[in-house]
Amino acid sequence: MGKQSEHRTEHGLCRPTTMKNSSNNNNSSNTNHTQFHHNQPRNEDNNTSSTIDSRFNQTLKNVQGLLKGRSIPGKVLLTRRSDPADELSLPSPDYRRTQSARDTGTSERSNMPLEVDVQNTSKEDNIPNVGKIKSTTSNIESVSSEIQKSTIGARATDSARVMKFTKELSGTTVILERLRELAWSGVPPYMRPTTWRLLLGYAPPNSDRREGVLRRKRLEYLDCLSQFYDIPDTERSDDEINMLRQIAVDCPRTVPDVTFFQQEQVQKSLERVLYTWAIRHPASGYVQGINDLVTPFLVVFLSEYLEGSIDNWSISTLSLQQISEIEADCYWCLSKLLDGMQDHYTFAQPGIQRLVFRLKELVRRIDEPVSRHMEEQGLEFLQFAFRWFNCLLIREIPFHLVTRLWDTYLAEGDALPDFLVYIYASFLLTWSDELQKLDFQEMVMFLQHLPTQNWSHQELEMVLSRAYMWHSMFNSSPRHLVS
């Protein structure tokens, strides 16, 4: 199994890098970490194990306190044993954090207990620094390494990060894992089109092949249009006619609070992309909500041609060729995204139902009082969370934050469906105190009209930070989710 190293920086800790060791090295390396699970601890007495469990439980209580707006005394201490050999021999990761001493060519290493300040917020950046924990399992016993990841968000345009993106994107072959690490914390807006195409596997990492592949895929989309869309209704089946009519009804309802999407040409582009996708994916066909999923792609790929605020955009200023290329990119990226969650949109949408159940269990483990209150009031998670998973939270947050959220979505890659559960748990528990004061009807109304209209990057980054922390704590330790 892998071994994780940690590098302490000026602002905290960056995400651990997994290094593969031979089986001969496992015994010696694993003993240099604090025991997280304690089924059969080796060379550790019961007092040490109980102390670690106590620290874990205290950390969890502190996070719960943070959610409820309570102050946390001092800092949460996450201790581990330090292995000097690790720090000398393993490369230290340089991603998923704010600009630090490493960015300026220096670094810090310390054997002292790692201090995670879950209250610290930079006035300059308005970005919360939330402690995160990452655990892994060896072939002998469970071990842990605690880390902190400082989110970027509003600082996505910092010169240091722009230079890192430029370096990754300008190479002959893009290393996708490095790009994912950078993109998780936000992508500079003008780099999003290229970055998203790469993260989704639509554009190849090899720069020599990229232009040719995009040209071929865009021509293939045009062929699909001529074969399936640009035909009279007499050549469609009754099901296809009904599906096209439903799409035509839903397009004007898409992101109604953004005037750009009310333009007739924009709605026609959405209609062409959605109908073509539905015809090419008969297992699911068109499902209401997929229309929302096209909008982030449309905005990002239009940004290569239109400048300024989206409120001032007009698609009529573009040529037919430019519009067809944008539509093609939206179609293929939507296809790539939904390929990883096919059962979310098949009959009865079993994938979404499964994730809603997991969300309920996770909330029960993290915040038992609010979980119990919702259960006592008879509120089912399907009544509000189904739409969250179906539309990927697009209808719940201001549209100007959606592309930032999707940077993280796409950076997660194939792991996105599992990570959505943690994002939505963090999102829901933002209002833990409020929910416990409401009865059934009030909770339904509240959750259908969440007070996010004035949200900035700060609130979104806090949601993502907590989600990352809980994912690190629980995803590889499902027994912790057992009540």
The domain that contains 254 carries what CATH number? 1.10.8.270
Query: Does residue 204 lie within any of the structural domains?
Result: no
Query: Does residue 325 lie within any of the structural domains?
Result: yes
User: Is residue 250 located within the same domain as residue 301?
Assistant: yes
Is residue 36 within 8 A of residue 134, CB to CB? The reply is no
User: Is residue 335 located within the same domain as residue 433?
Assistant: no
Handedness of CA 397, 400, 401, 404 (dihedral sign): positive
| Res 332 pLDDT > 80 | yes
**Cβ of 40: how many Cβ atoms within 10 Å?**
10
d(CA 405, CA 199): 14
pLDDT for 21: 41
User: Is residue 120 located within the same domain as residue 252?
Assistant: no
pLDDT for 119: 35
Q: What is the pLDDT of residues 197-222, one digit of tens each?
A: 999 999 999 999 999 999 999 999 99
User: Is residue 82 located within the same domain as residue 130?
Assistant: yes
The secondary element (H helix, E strand) that includes residue 246 is helix 238-250
Q: What is the pLDDT of residues 3-43, one digit of tens each?
A: 444 443 433 334 434 333 444 444 444 444 434 344 444 44
pLDDT for 55: 53
Overall domain count for the chain: 4
Residue whose structure tokens are 């950046």: 125
Paired with 78 in beta bridges are 114
Give me the mean pLDDT over the 310-322 stretch. 95
pLDDT for 479: 63
User: Is residue 259 located within the same domain as residue 179?
Assistant: no
Give me the mean pLDDT over the 63-71 stretch. 43
User: Is residue 333 located within the same domain as residue 364?
Assistant: no
User: Is residue 112 located within the same domain as residue 215?
Assistant: no
User: Is residue 124 located within the same domain as residue 246?
Assistant: no
User: Is residue 43 located within the same domain as residue 132?
Assistant: yes
| Res 371 pLDDT > 80 | yes
Query: Does residue 307 lie within any of the structural domains?
Result: yes
Residue 434 or residue 104, greater confidence: 434
What tokens were used for 397?
């947050």
Query: Does residue 445 lie within any of the structural domains?
Result: yes
Query: Does residue 220 lie within any of the structural domains?
Result: yes
Distance of CA 482 to the CA centre of its chain: 25
| Res 230 pLDDT > 80 | yes
Q: Which domain holds residue 29?
A: 2-150
Q: What is the DSSP string of 260-307?
A: GGGSHHHHHHHHHHHHHHHHH-TTT---TTHHHHHHHHHHHHHTTT--
Q: Residue 31 class from Cβ within 10 Å (0-12 exposed, 13-18 middle, 19+ buried)? A: middle
pLDDT for 336: 97
In the three-class reduction of DSSP (H, G, I as helix; E, B as strand; rest coil), residue 238 is classed as helix
pLDDT for 477: 72
Query: Does residue 344 lie within any of the structural domains?
Result: no
Q: Please choose, from the candidates 189, 167, 188, the residue with its C-alpha nearest in 3D space to the C-alpha of residue 178.
A: 167
Query: Does residue 113 lie within any of the structural domains?
Result: yes
User: Is residue 302 located within the same domain as residue 186?
Assistant: no
The secondary element (H helix, E strand) that includes residue 116 is strand 114-116
User: Is residue 140 located within the same domain as residue 221?
Assistant: no
Query: Does residue 205 lie within any of the structural domains?
Result: no
User: Is residue 195 located within the same domain as residue 274?
Assistant: no
The domain that contains 445 carries what CATH number? 1.10.472.80
| Res 125 pLDDT > 70 | no
